[in-house]
Structure 1
Amino acid sequence: MKILFVIQGEGRGHLTQALSLRQKLADEGHEIVGVLVGKSPARRLPGFFSEKIGVPVYPFESPNFLPSAKNKQVNLVRSVAYNLFRLHKYLSSIRYINRMIKETGADVVVNFYELLTGLTYLFCHPKALMVCIAHQYLFLHPDFVFPGQNRLSLVSLKFFTRMTAIGATKKLALSFRKMREVPSERIVVVPPLLRKEVLETTPVNGDYLHGYLLNSGFSEEIRSWHKVHPNVALHIFWDKKEVRPEVKVDSFLSFHQLNDTLFIRYMAGAKAYATTAGFESVCEAMYLGKPVLMVPTHIEQSCNAFDAVQAGAGVVADRFDLDALLELSRTHRPNPAFSHWVKQADWLILREFRPDLLMEETPASLWRRLSTRWIYRLGKTLSI
C-alpha cells in the first residue's frame, strides 16, 4: 500500500513515533510516499527527523499552544487568540493536505494527532482511508482514569482528540499497558512505538541526570538547582533557537540542542530522567529502566504523567525539583511487564495495517457511517 504520514510536529514524541512506524511498514513492503509535518513559526523541525525519515518532508502551518512569557506553562488565552488570527493560514493548510493526499496517490493516511488532518476529512472527504495513532486516543477509552482536573479542561481535551480523528477507520491508542479494544469507538490499544535504536541500547547506571525541556524557560529552574548542587552532573536537552549545539555552563551542567542519537545515548547512561511529561520519552526511560520526574505544562501532559505514575514510571511535580528525582533514583524498581508489552509492538501494530482488514470497507461507506455517529460521540464528550 501507499501510505502518507501527517504529523503534529510539536516536541519530539510524534516525530520519533513516525520514524519507528516508517521502518516497520517499510519492512513489510509498504511504500511511504511522503511526510507532512504541522508546525508553527515558534517551533522548528529537528534536523534528526529530516535526516532519518528517508522520504520527502513537507511542512505546513498548524495550530499550536504558545508558552507563557517565561516560556514555561501553556498560555491558553494567548494560544486561542494567536490561532484565531492565523485561521486563514490553517484553511490553506487543509487544502494543501487534501491536495497532497491526491497527488501522492496514498491508499492510507496515518495521522499522528494532527488536528488539520481530521478537519481535512471533515470538509474535503479524501478517498484514502485514515488510521490515527497516538497516546492521546487513550483519552477516549472508557477505562482510562483521568487525574483530578477542571471538567471543562477534560471536555476540551476529549473534544480536540475527537476532532483529530474525524473520518478515521481506526484509532491506535499507544498505551503504557494492555487494555481492551473498544469496537464502538474503533479504538485498538497497542504498545508504544519505540525505535530500534532504543530497543537495541544497553543501559548502564551512570552518575548524571538527564532531561528534556519542551519549553526552554524551565532552564532557569535547572540553573537554580545546579547552583545549590554544583557537583551533580546534568545533561539537559531543549529546543532553543539560535544557540550552539551544546551550551556548556560549566563542567557539570550542559544544555544540548535536540539530537536524537545523542539524546538516547545520554538516556542510556543516566542515573534518572526529568521531563515535561511527553509520552514518548517517558516510555524510552521506562524501557531503559530509568526513574522519571514529570513536570506537565498543560492538561494533556498532566494526563500522560498521571497514567505514567500508575505504570510505575516515577513521580509528578509542578517544578523541576531534582532533589525528588535523586531520592527516587535510590529506590526505583523498573516495571518488567512494561518491557514485555513493548516487545509485542511489531505484530500488534502491523496487523492493523493488513490490507485485507483496512480495505474491507470503502472510503464512501466508512464516511457515511462515521459521519452519522460523530454527532452522537460529540454529545458523549460534552456530557462527561
Structure 2
Amino acid sequence: MKIIFMVQGEGRGHLTQAISLGQMLREAGHQVAAALVGTSPGRQIPAFFDEQINAPVYHFHAPNIIYHAGGSGMNVQKTISTHLAGLPRHLKSLRCIHKTIRDIRPDLIVSFYETYGGLYNILYRSRIPMVCIAHQYLLLHPRFVFPEKSGFDRFLINLNSRSTSWLATRRLALSFREIPSRPDLRIMVVPPLLRKEVQELKPVQGDFLLVYMTHHSLSRQIMDWHQANPDQELHCFWDNPDAPEVFQTNEKLTFHRINSEKYLRLLASCKALVTTAGFESVCEAMYLGKPVMMVPVPNHFEQECNALDGVISGAGITSRHFDLSLILEYLPRHTDHSARFKEWYRRGTAMFLHEITAGAQSAESEQEIRSAAG
C-alpha cells in the first residue's frame, strides 16, 4: 500500500510514533509516501523527524495549545479564542492537505491525532480510508479510569478525539497495558509505538535526574527547585527556540534543545525521569525500567489522565509541581515492571499490521456495499 501520514506536530510523542510505524510498515513492504505535519508560530518541529521519517515532509499551519507566559500551564480561553479567530487560515490548511493527498493518491491515510483529520474527511468526503492512532482514543474506552469529578473535561477531550477521527475506519488506542478492544466503538487497543533506537539501548544506573518538559515556560519551576537543591545533577530537555543548543546554568544544571539521540542516551543512563505527562516519554522510560514522576501541564486535562493511567500501570508517581524531592523519596519503593511492559509491546508489530490492513479493507468493503445498493 501507498500510505500518507498526517501528524500532529505539538510535543514529541506523535512524531516519534509516526517514525516507529513508518519503520514497521516499510519492513512489511508498504510505502510511506509523505508525512503532513502541523506547525504553528513558536512550535519548532525537531530535526530528528525529517532525518528519520524517510519520506517527503510537508508542513501546514495547525492549531496548537497556548500557554500562560508565566509558566502556569495551558491558557484554555486564549487557546479556544485564537483558533476560532484563525478559521480562514485553518480552511487554507485543509485545502493544502487536500491538494497534497490528491497529487499523491495514497491507498490509506494514517492520522496521528492530527486536528484536521476528521475535518478533512467531512469537508472533502474523501474515499481514501483513514486509520487514526493515539493514546487519546483510549479515553473513549468505557474501562478507562478518569480523575474524579472530571465529567465536563472528559466530555470536551472525547469530543475532540471523536472530531479528529470522524469517518475513520479504525481508532487504534495506544495503551500502557492490555485492555480488551471495543470493535463496536471502532476502538482497537494496541501497544505503544517505540522506535528501534529505544529497543537497542542498554540501560545503566546513573546518578542524575532527566527532565523533559513540553514547553520551556515550565523551566522556572526546575530552576527554583535546583536553587534549593544544588547538589543534585539535572539534565533537562526543552523547546526554547531562543536558547543555545546547550544552556548550562552551573555544572549541575544543564538545559538541552530537543535532540532525539542525546535524549535517549541520557534516558538510558539516568536514575529516573521527571516529565510532563506525555504518553510517549513515559512509555520509553517504562521500556527501559526507569521510574517516572509525571507532572501534568496545569489546566491540561489530557495529561492529568495520562498521569493517572501511568500510575495505575506501574510507571511511577504523579505530582502537580516539579518538586523533584518527591521522585527521590519514591525511588526506594519503585517496582520495575519493564518485563511485563516489554511482553505487551512485543505483540505490537503483528497487531498494527493487521489493524492497518483491516482498516483499508473494511473501507473498500463499505464502498462496494454502497455502490451495489446505489
TM over 0.5: yes
1:113 corresponds to which residue? 113
Whether the aligned pair in 1 keeps the contact of 2:6 and 2:111 (CA below 8 Å) is yes
1:317 corresponds to which residue? 319
CA distance in 2, matches of 1:66, 1:242: 18
Whether the aligned pair in 1 keeps the contact of 2:62 and 2:90 (CA below 8 Å) is yes
**Alpha-carbon offset, residue 364 of structure 1:** 6.2
**Alpha-carbon offset, residue 149 of structure 1:** 4.2
Matches within 5 A, 1:216-295: 216-295=216-295
Matched, 1:346 2:356: no
**Alpha-carbon offset, residue 183 of structure 1:** 1.4
Q: For structure 1, which segment, 13-22 or 95-104, has the greater mean C-alpha deviation from structure 2 after superposition? A: 95-104
2:244 alignment partner AA: R
1:186 alignment partner AA: R
- State the aligned residue count: 367
**Alpha-carbon offset, residue 360 of structure 1:** 4.1
Residue from 287, 304, 307 that aligns with 1:305:
307
2:183 corresponds to which residue? 183
CA distance in 2, matches of 1:367, 1:205: 58
TM-score under structure 2 length normalisation: 0.95
CA distance in 1, matches of 2:31, 2:367: 25
Identity %: 44
In structure 2, relative to structure 1, the CA distance for the partners of 1:366 and 1:60 (3 Å cut) is: farther
**Alpha-carbon offset, residue 254 of structure 1:** 0.2
CA distance in 1, matches of 2:142, 2:55: 37
**Alpha-carbon offset, residue 64 of structure 1:** 1.1
CA distance in 1, matches of 2:23, 2:154: 34
Matched, 1:124 2:127: no
In structure 2, relative to structure 1, the CA distance for the partners of 1:69 and 1:199 (3 Å cut) is: same
CA distance in 2, matches of 1:64, 1:151: 23
2:69 alignment partner AA: A
2:246 alignment partner AA: E
TM-score under structure 1 length normalisation: 0.93
1:375 corresponds to which residue? none
Residue from 328, 334, 339 that aligns with 2:330:
328
CA distance in 2, matches of 1:357, 1:219: 42
1:310 alignment partner AA: I
Whether the aligned pair in 2 keeps the contact of 1:5 and 1:110 (CA below 8 Å) is yes
Over 4 Å off, 4+ runs:
none
Whether the aligned pair in 2 keeps the contact of 1:291 and 1:332 (CA below 8 Å) is yes
Superimposed CA distance per residue, residues 112-170 of structure 1 (whole angstroms, 9 cap, x where no aligned partner): 00111110001111121100001001011111111114322110000000000001010
Q: Which runs of 5+ in 2 are unaligned?
A: none
Superimposed CA distance per residue, residues 274-323 of structure 1 (whole angstroms, 9 cap, x where no aligned partner): 01100000000111111111111100111111100000011111110100
CA distance in 1, matches of 2:257, 2:368: 43
Matches within 5 A, 1:94-243: 94-243=94-243
Matches within 5 A, 1:346-365: 346-354=349-357, 358-362=360-364, 365=367
CA distance in 2, matches of 1:4, 1:357: 14
**RMSD (CA atoms):** 1.5
